[in-house]
Structure 1
Protein backbone atom coordinates (compact mmCIF):
# COMPACT_ATOMS: atom_id res chain seq x y z
CA UNK A 1 0.00 0.00 0.00
CA UNK A 2 1.55 3.34 -1.02
CA UNK A 3 2.16 6.10 1.50
CA UNK A 4 1.05 9.62 0.55
CA UNK A 5 2.32 12.94 1.87
CA UNK A 6 -0.23 15.25 0.21
CA UNK A 7 -4.01 14.96 0.32
CA UNK A 8 -4.17 15.74 -3.41
CA UNK A 9 -2.29 12.50 -4.14
CA UNK A 10 -4.61 10.21 -2.17
CA UNK A 11 -6.96 8.37 -4.58
CA UNK A 12 -9.79 8.35 -2.01
CA UNK A 13 -9.72 12.16 -1.95
CA UNK A 14 -9.42 12.67 -5.71
CA UNK A 15 -11.91 15.07 -7.22
CA UNK A 16 -12.66 16.93 -4.00
CA UNK A 17 -11.93 20.59 -3.45
CA UNK A 18 -9.39 21.62 -0.81
CA UNK A 19 -12.21 22.53 1.56
CA UNK A 20 -13.99 19.19 1.05
CA UNK A 21 -10.73 17.32 1.65
CA UNK A 22 -10.12 19.27 4.85
CA UNK A 23 -13.67 18.69 6.11
CA UNK A 24 -13.51 14.99 5.33
CA UNK A 25 -10.09 14.52 6.93
CA UNK A 26 -10.57 16.71 9.98
CA UNK A 27 -14.30 16.87 10.58
CA UNK A 28 -15.49 13.33 10.01
CA UNK A 29 -13.32 11.05 12.11
CA UNK A 30 -13.60 12.81 15.46
CA UNK A 31 -12.69 9.79 17.61
CA UNK A 32 -9.54 9.04 15.61
CA UNK A 33 -8.58 12.71 15.60
CA UNK A 34 -9.03 12.99 19.38
CA UNK A 35 -6.88 9.93 20.04
CA UNK A 36 -4.19 11.14 17.66
CA UNK A 37 -4.25 14.56 19.36
CA UNK A 38 -3.55 12.91 22.71
CA UNK A 39 -0.60 11.05 21.17
CA UNK A 40 0.55 14.32 19.61
CA UNK A 41 0.41 16.07 22.98
CA UNK A 42 2.47 13.33 24.62
CA UNK A 43 4.96 13.39 21.71
CA UNK A 44 5.33 17.18 21.89
CA UNK A 45 5.85 17.29 25.65
CA UNK A 46 8.21 14.31 25.67
CA UNK A 47 10.24 15.41 22.68
CA UNK A 48 10.64 18.97 23.93
CA UNK A 49 11.70 17.82 27.38
CA UNK A 50 13.99 14.97 26.36
CA UNK A 51 15.13 15.84 22.81
CA UNK A 52 14.75 19.52 21.90
CA UNK A 53 15.88 21.08 25.19
CA UNK A 54 19.01 18.90 25.54
CA UNK A 55 19.94 19.56 21.90
CA UNK A 56 19.46 23.30 22.37
CA UNK A 57 21.57 23.27 25.54
CA UNK A 58 24.31 21.34 23.74
CA UNK A 59 24.47 23.36 20.51
CA UNK A 60 23.01 26.80 21.45
CA UNK A 61 23.31 27.23 25.23
CA UNK A 62 21.95 30.79 25.26
CA UNK A 63 18.96 30.14 23.04
CA UNK A 64 16.56 29.33 25.88
CA UNK A 65 17.22 32.73 27.46
CA UNK A 66 16.28 34.46 24.19
CA UNK A 67 12.59 33.75 24.41
CA UNK A 68 11.65 34.74 20.85
CA UNK A 69 14.03 32.34 19.11
CA UNK A 70 13.14 29.58 21.58
CA UNK A 71 9.41 30.08 20.94
CA UNK A 72 9.99 30.05 17.17
CA UNK A 73 11.94 26.78 17.47
CA UNK A 74 9.20 25.19 19.62
CA UNK A 75 6.44 26.35 17.29
CA UNK A 76 8.31 25.02 14.27
CA UNK A 77 8.68 21.67 16.04
CA UNK A 78 4.98 21.64 16.96
CA UNK A 79 3.90 22.41 13.39
CA UNK A 80 6.21 19.71 12.05
CA UNK A 81 4.71 17.14 14.42
CA UNK A 82 1.17 18.28 13.55
CA UNK A 83 1.90 17.89 9.83
CA UNK A 84 3.38 14.45 10.47
CA UNK A 85 0.31 13.44 12.48
CA UNK A 86 -2.00 14.60 9.67
CA UNK A 87 0.00 12.66 7.06
CA UNK A 88 -0.08 9.50 9.16
CA UNK A 89 -3.81 9.83 9.88
CA UNK A 90 -4.56 10.49 6.21
CA UNK A 91 -2.84 7.24 5.27
CA UNK A 92 -4.25 5.19 8.15
CA UNK A 93 -7.81 6.35 7.45
CA UNK A 94 -7.75 5.58 3.71
CA UNK A 95 -10.18 2.62 3.98
CA UNK A 96 -12.59 4.69 6.07
CA UNK A 97 -12.23 7.57 3.60
CA UNK A 98 -13.26 5.26 0.76
CA UNK A 99 -16.34 4.12 2.69
CA UNK A 100 -17.28 7.70 3.58
CA UNK A 101 -16.84 8.83 -0.05
CA UNK A 102 -19.15 6.00 -1.19
CA UNK A 103 -21.75 7.06 1.40
CA UNK A 104 -21.50 10.69 0.27
CA UNK A 105 -21.89 9.68 -3.38
CA UNK A 106 -24.89 7.48 -2.57
CA UNK A 107 -26.53 10.32 -0.62
CA UNK A 108 -25.92 12.75 -3.49
CA UNK A 109 -27.36 10.25 -6.00
CA UNK A 110 -30.42 9.69 -3.80
CA UNK A 111 -30.97 13.43 -3.49
CA UNK A 112 -30.69 13.84 -7.27
CA UNK A 113 -33.19 11.03 -7.85
CA UNK A 114 -35.59 12.54 -5.33
CA UNK A 115 -35.27 15.92 -7.03
CA UNK A 116 -35.99 14.37 -10.43
CA UNK A 117 -38.98 12.47 -9.01
CA UNK A 118 -40.35 15.64 -7.41
CA UNK A 119 -39.92 17.54 -10.66
CA UNK A 120 -41.73 14.76 -12.52
CA UNK A 121 -44.66 14.84 -10.09
CA UNK A 122 -44.91 18.61 -10.34
CA UNK A 123 -44.99 18.39 -14.12
CA UNK A 124 -48.02 16.05 -14.15
Structure 2
Protein backbone atom coordinates (compact mmCIF):
# COMPACT_ATOMS: atom_id res chain seq x y z
CA UNK A 1 0.00 0.00 0.00
CA UNK A 2 2.86 2.37 0.84
CA UNK A 3 4.34 1.93 -2.65
CA UNK A 4 1.03 2.71 -4.37
CA UNK A 5 0.45 5.80 -2.27
CA UNK A 6 4.02 6.97 -2.84
CA UNK A 7 3.66 6.48 -6.61
CA UNK A 8 0.41 8.45 -6.57
CA UNK A 9 1.88 11.36 -4.61
CA UNK A 10 5.10 11.57 -6.61
CA UNK A 11 3.25 11.18 -9.93
CA UNK A 12 1.23 14.27 -9.06
CA UNK A 13 4.44 16.17 -8.29
CA UNK A 14 6.23 14.92 -11.43
CA UNK A 15 3.29 15.58 -13.73
CA UNK A 16 2.80 19.03 -12.26
CA UNK A 17 6.48 19.81 -12.76
CA UNK A 18 6.33 18.72 -16.38
CA UNK A 19 3.23 20.84 -16.96
CA UNK A 20 4.89 23.87 -15.34
CA UNK A 21 8.01 23.54 -17.49
CA UNK A 22 5.85 23.09 -20.60
CA UNK A 23 3.96 26.28 -19.80
CA UNK A 24 7.14 28.18 -18.98
CA UNK A 25 8.96 27.14 -22.16
CA UNK A 26 6.50 26.94 -25.05
CA UNK A 27 7.85 25.52 -28.31
CA UNK A 28 9.51 28.38 -30.15
CA UNK A 29 10.34 28.11 -33.82
CA UNK A 30 9.12 24.51 -33.76
CA UNK A 31 11.83 23.22 -31.40
CA UNK A 32 10.44 21.48 -28.28
CA UNK A 33 12.81 22.74 -25.58
CA UNK A 34 10.44 21.83 -22.75
CA UNK A 35 10.47 18.15 -23.75
CA UNK A 36 14.25 18.18 -24.08
CA UNK A 37 14.65 19.71 -20.62
CA UNK A 38 12.26 17.35 -18.82
CA UNK A 39 13.75 14.29 -20.47
CA UNK A 40 17.35 15.32 -19.72
CA UNK A 41 16.49 16.18 -16.12
CA UNK A 42 14.69 12.84 -15.86
CA UNK A 43 17.75 10.96 -17.13
CA UNK A 44 19.89 12.65 -14.51
CA UNK A 45 17.35 12.17 -11.71
CA UNK A 46 16.64 8.48 -12.37
CA UNK A 47 20.33 7.61 -12.63
CA UNK A 48 21.06 9.54 -9.43
CA UNK A 49 18.13 8.02 -7.58
CA UNK A 50 18.89 4.42 -8.50
CA UNK A 51 22.56 4.71 -7.67
CA UNK A 52 22.13 6.76 -4.49
CA UNK A 53 19.64 4.20 -3.18
CA UNK A 54 21.96 1.32 -4.03
CA UNK A 55 24.96 3.02 -2.41
CA UNK A 56 23.39 4.35 0.76
CA UNK A 57 19.89 2.88 1.32
CA UNK A 58 19.03 5.43 4.02
CA UNK A 59 15.42 5.94 3.00
CA UNK A 60 12.43 3.62 2.60
CA UNK A 61 12.03 1.73 -0.65
CA UNK A 62 8.56 3.29 -1.07
CA UNK A 63 10.29 6.64 -1.58
CA UNK A 64 12.55 5.21 -4.29
CA UNK A 65 9.63 3.47 -6.00
CA UNK A 66 7.43 6.55 -5.73
CA UNK A 67 10.06 8.96 -7.02
CA UNK A 68 11.28 6.65 -9.78
CA UNK A 69 8.04 5.25 -11.14
CA UNK A 70 5.61 7.96 -10.13
CA UNK A 71 7.65 11.16 -10.07
CA UNK A 72 10.20 10.67 -12.82
CA UNK A 73 7.80 8.54 -14.84
CA UNK A 74 5.19 11.31 -14.84
CA UNK A 75 7.82 14.02 -15.36
CA UNK A 76 9.52 12.56 -18.44
CA UNK A 77 7.87 11.71 -21.73
CA UNK A 78 9.03 9.38 -24.46
CA UNK A 79 5.66 9.59 -26.21
CA UNK A 80 5.86 13.38 -26.62
CA UNK A 81 9.45 13.03 -27.82
CA UNK A 82 8.27 10.54 -30.47
CA UNK A 83 5.28 12.63 -31.58
CA UNK A 84 7.39 15.78 -31.84
CA UNK A 85 10.04 13.95 -33.85
CA UNK A 86 7.42 12.65 -36.31
CA UNK A 87 5.83 16.11 -36.51
CA UNK A 88 9.15 17.71 -37.44
CA UNK A 89 9.81 14.92 -39.96
CA UNK A 90 6.45 15.40 -41.66
CA UNK A 91 7.21 19.13 -41.87
CA UNK A 92 10.60 18.21 -43.35
CA UNK A 93 12.50 20.12 -40.66
CA UNK A 94 15.51 17.85 -41.03
CA UNK A 95 17.94 20.08 -39.18
CA UNK A 96 15.59 20.34 -36.21
CA UNK A 97 15.00 16.57 -36.28
CA UNK A 98 18.74 15.86 -36.26
CA UNK A 99 19.36 18.37 -33.49
CA UNK A 100 16.45 17.08 -31.43
CA UNK A 101 17.57 13.48 -31.73
CA UNK A 102 21.21 14.30 -30.99
CA UNK A 103 20.49 16.56 -28.03
CA UNK A 104 17.99 14.13 -26.53
CA UNK A 105 19.91 10.89 -27.05
CA UNK A 106 23.47 12.06 -26.45
CA UNK A 107 22.36 14.49 -23.76
CA UNK A 108 20.36 11.74 -22.06
CA UNK A 109 23.38 9.46 -21.90
CA UNK A 110 25.58 12.28 -20.60
CA UNK A 111 22.97 13.33 -18.00
CA UNK A 112 22.64 9.71 -16.85
CA UNK A 113 26.41 9.45 -16.48
CA UNK A 114 26.40 12.72 -14.53
CA UNK A 115 23.64 11.34 -12.30
CA UNK A 116 25.66 8.20 -11.54
CA UNK A 117 28.80 10.26 -10.90
CA UNK A 118 27.01 12.69 -8.58
CA UNK A 119 25.35 9.83 -6.64
CA UNK A 120 28.76 8.27 -6.08
CA UNK A 121 30.14 11.61 -4.90
CA UNK A 122 27.10 12.13 -2.67
CA UNK A 123 27.56 8.70 -1.13
CA UNK A 124 31.12 9.53 -0.10
CA UNK A 125 30.26 12.70 1.83
CA UNK A 126 31.07 12.17 5.48
CA UNK A 127 28.09 11.91 7.81
CA UNK A 128 28.39 14.06 10.92
CA UNK A 129 27.32 12.08 13.95
CA UNK A 130 25.74 13.90 16.90
TM-score by length of 1: 0.30
**With CA pairs under 8 Å and 6+ residues apart, which has the higher RCO, 1 or 2?**
2
Higher alpha-carbon Rg: 1
TM-score by length of 2: 0.29
